[in-house]
Amino acid sequence: MCGIFGIMTKRTDIPIARLIREGLQRLEYRGYDSCGLAMANNGTIDVRKKAGKIADINKNGMFDSMQGQFGMGHTRWATHGPPVDKNSHPHLDCKSKVAVVHNGIIENYQQLRKDLIARGHTFTSDTDTEVIPHLIEEALAKGVSFKDAVRDAIKYLTGAYGIVVMHADTPDFMIVARKESPLTIGIVPGETCFAASDIPAFLPLTRQALILDDDEMALLYKGRVEIFNVIDGKPREPKIMQVQWSIDAAQKSLDGVEYKWFMHKELHEVPRKIKDQVRIPQENLDAFAKTIMAAEHVYITAAGTAFYACLAGKFQITRFGGPYIEAILCSEFRDALPTIPPKSCVIAVSQSGETADTVEAIRYAREKFGAKVCSVVNVVGSSITRYSDNVIITAAGPEMAVASQKAYCTQVTALTVVALRIAELKGTLPKDEIAKYRAALEKTFDVANEILKRENAIKEIAEAFAKKPSFYFLARGLSLAAACEGALKLKEISYNHAEAYSAGESKHGPIALIEKGFPVVFVAPPDETYDRLIGNVQEMKARGGTIISVVADFDTKITEMSDYTIRVPITNDKYAIAMSAVPFVFPLQILAYFASDFNKLDPDKPRNLAKSVTVK
């Protein structure tokens, strides 16, 4: 959620404050309501912070004009205390010598704050974060080193944190630490270190990175890193990884075309990402599939868009001969499963790999009940990957828009690849049949490309309905996941109230709201649910609903009943139809984008939302 970016460098010829500000802007997709920078300048720390957006605050150079040899910045998504200037990060100790930025939640901050106030400390914010610089200040007063003071302070904290700490009188290094909250280190060996809550912050500056584990801290020198365990103080040799993401991911251009919004650009990346996703390394795919096959009980869990990918994925796995899979929202996982039987497997799906509730769910299953964990995530080295027995990395690459599109499409594709491999390993289908399904899955790349060529037709429908206050999205079977995803996207970025239901449930309450002109979106592939869906379309139309249907190119029946159609160019055979989960959701993501743009909203940074939800 919160964005963090810090720089420690030996270079004196670069505008450090401006680079920090630019790095924070590359993290705006994480969602925020205030921001600030701290710069160390010859024994003093200058802090400038304010509620609002970076571009607005920096119009007159408020951040870029800051001077100093090293520094850090932060974008805050409010949890403790309202989004006002005083609650913005960074936060200082009483002497203004220690500055801290923090992502996460300190669960015991209230008691710590009371104790610190009783010992004479003065607080200037409502945040949980502010206890950290004061705890460090107390440790320093006892004569311990800066490193040991930070380590001592951390031991008092209960909860999740990713922190960066700087000291005005320690110009040689900054300190970072993490527990259950993301923090990544970028490095230009021998010159510069970067601290960031996510890789895009430093992607244009270096593609070499180090990943901190939970309960680790690191000293960031000028181009060198020392890593220690917080609990026992033991050092660990840093292992540099090469980031494979393209620098272009942080730009709004693609193939020479400049896009107005990141989301539109990223929608145009979807076809190539589908193509890349089909090619999962065989060893990883087999290990993932065999773990599911060996389990007696299988659960799948995620939040938001990723949960709807779970619904599609579990349907495909079961359809092709895999086990029954129970889908549980990660925020409900512990309550829904007070016990987990032996020989269980949990499939976790997450774009960031840091979703707090998903991390908690798999740790609960793994540590308390010994369940195996298979994860589908987009970030190598993220928390979820470290708690997993088997991992499939999605090919989405960075998503700068808060509303996910590439990640959803690659997650569904990856889980479909797993479903086909399970069928192959179990022998539930002849090999030549599986080959035909796999070929059809690969062709969804071409289908998605063709949908983009027709996006102006989708745009016209979006603009015709963008001002409508409410929508229903209805479907059956596998397509219910697409309906849920379509409704969520419209809510997230266009702020239209939208609800998704199984079409068969629509007459058990929702139909009461239907009146003349009420828009009802049907996801209607020509599969085994099609004939039953026709009756649901007729029910809505008879009561005055305006019918918008997503149908195959060759469709006739539902087309005749519909006021508007979005046509999906799949071929009329069982293989293409079975592999059409992504082709039938993709137009709905495009629809939501154009509705948002027509409503003059920012689809990249919708209000109150964050890309990576790292608090529970």
As a three-state string, the secondary structure of 532-584 is HHHHHHHHHHHCCCEEEEEEECCCCHHHHHCCEEEEECCCCCHHHHHCCHHHH
- State whether residue 170 is helix, strand or coil: coil
**What is the dotted CATH code of the domain comprising 253-429?**
3.40.50.10490
- Looking at residue 301, its pLDDT comes to 98
Pairing of strands 470-475, 519-524: parallel
Q: Does the pLDDT at position 173 exceed 80? A: yes
pLDDT band at 362, cuts 50/70/90?
Answer: very high
What average pLDDT is seen over the chain?
A: 94
Under the phi-then-psi rule, with left for phi > 0, alpha for psi from -120 to 50, and beta for the rest, what region is 600?
Answer: left
* Tokens standing for residue 57: 């605050």
Residue 614 has pLDDT above 60, yes or no: no
**368: which DSSP letter?**
I
CA proximity to 201, closest of 218, 219, 217, 182: 182
- Cα separation, 309 vs 432, in Å, equals 27
Q: What residues contact residue 37 under an 8 Å CB cut-off, 6+ apart?
A: 17, 20, 21, 47, 48, 49, 63, 66, 71, 72, 73, 74, 90
CA dihedral 28, 30, 34, 40 (to 10 degrees): -80
pLDDT band at 248 (very low <50, low <70, confident <90, very high): low
Angle formed by the axes of helices 146-154 and 131-141, nearest 10°: 130
pLDDT at res. 573: 96
The residue annotated as part of the active site, out of 147, 491, 605, 611, is: 611
Q: Which two tokens stand for residue 457?
A: 């037709």
- pLDDT-based confidence at residue 616 (cuts at 50, 70, 90): low
The mean per-residue pLDDT over the stretch 435-446 comes to 97
The pLDDT confidence band at residue 547, using thresholds 50, 70 and 90, is: very high
Q: What is each CA distance from 20 to 3, 47, 210, 566, in whole angstroms?
A: 11, 13, 19, 44
Best CA proximity match to 313, nearest among 482, 530, 522: 482
Task: Yes or no: say if 520 and 544 are a contact pair by the CB < 8 Å rule.
Answer: no
CB 211 within 8 A of CB 165: no
- Spell out the domain ranges in the chain: 3-243, 253-429, 453-601
299 forms beta bridges with 326, 346
Query: For residue 615, is pLDDT > 60?
Result: no
CATH architecture of the domain 3-243 equals 4-Layer Sandwich (3.60)
To the nearest 10 degrees (0 to 180), the angle between helices 406-426 and 304-319 is 20
pLDDT value at residue 377: 95
pLDDT digits (tens, 9 = 90+) for 59-104: 999 999 999 999 999 998 778 788 899 999 999 999 999 999 999 8
pLDDT band at 250 (very low <50, low <70, confident <90, very high): low
Q: What angle do CA 123, 124, 130 make, to 5 degrees?
A: 60
- The rounded percent of the chain whose pLDDT value lies above 90 is 84
For residue 612, the model assigns a pLDDT of 55
pLDDT band at 289 (very low <50, low <70, confident <90, very high): very high
| For residues 539-548, average pLDDT | 95
C-beta of residue 481 within 8 angstroms of C-beta of residue 586:
no
User: In whole angstroms, what separates CA 352 from the centre of its chain?
Assistant: 4
Question: Using N-to-C axis directions, what is the helix angle for 431-453 and 455-465, rounded to 10°?
Answer: 60
Most distant CA pair in the chain, distance? 81
pLDDT for res 264: 97
Q: Which two three-digit tokens encode residue 452?
A: 């983009």
| pLDDT, tens digit, 9 for 90 and up, residues 448-486 | 999 999 999 999 999 999 999 999 999 999 999 999 999
CB 384 within 8 A of CB 375: yes
User: Do the domains spanning 3-243 and 453-601 agree at the CATH topology level?
Assistant: no
| Category of 446 on φ-ψ map: left (φ > 0), alpha (ψ -120 to 50) or beta | alpha
- Whether 57 shows a pLDDT value over 60: the answer reads yes
CA distance 180 to 165: 17
| Bond preceding residue 271 cis, omega within 30 of 0 | no
Give me the catalytic one of 2, 35, 310, 374: 2
Distance, in Å, from the CA atom of 548 to the CA atom of 280, rounded to the nearest integer, reads 36
pLDDT at 482: 98
Q: CA-CA distances (angstroms) from residue 117 to 95, 110, 159, 356, 387?
A: 15, 11, 21, 30, 38
**Architecture field, domain 453-601:** 3-Layer(aba) Sandwich (3.40)
Distance spanning both ends of the chain, measured CA to CA: 11
Told to judge if 2 belongs to the known catalytic residues of this protein, a careful annotator would answer yes
- Map tokens 């015709």 to a residue: 464
Does 459 qualify as catalytic in the annotation? Answer: no
Which distant-in-sequence residues (6+ apart) come within 8 Å of 590 by Cβ? 267, 451, 452, 455, 458, 459, 462
**127: phi > 0 → left, psi -120 to 50 → alpha, else beta; which?**
beta
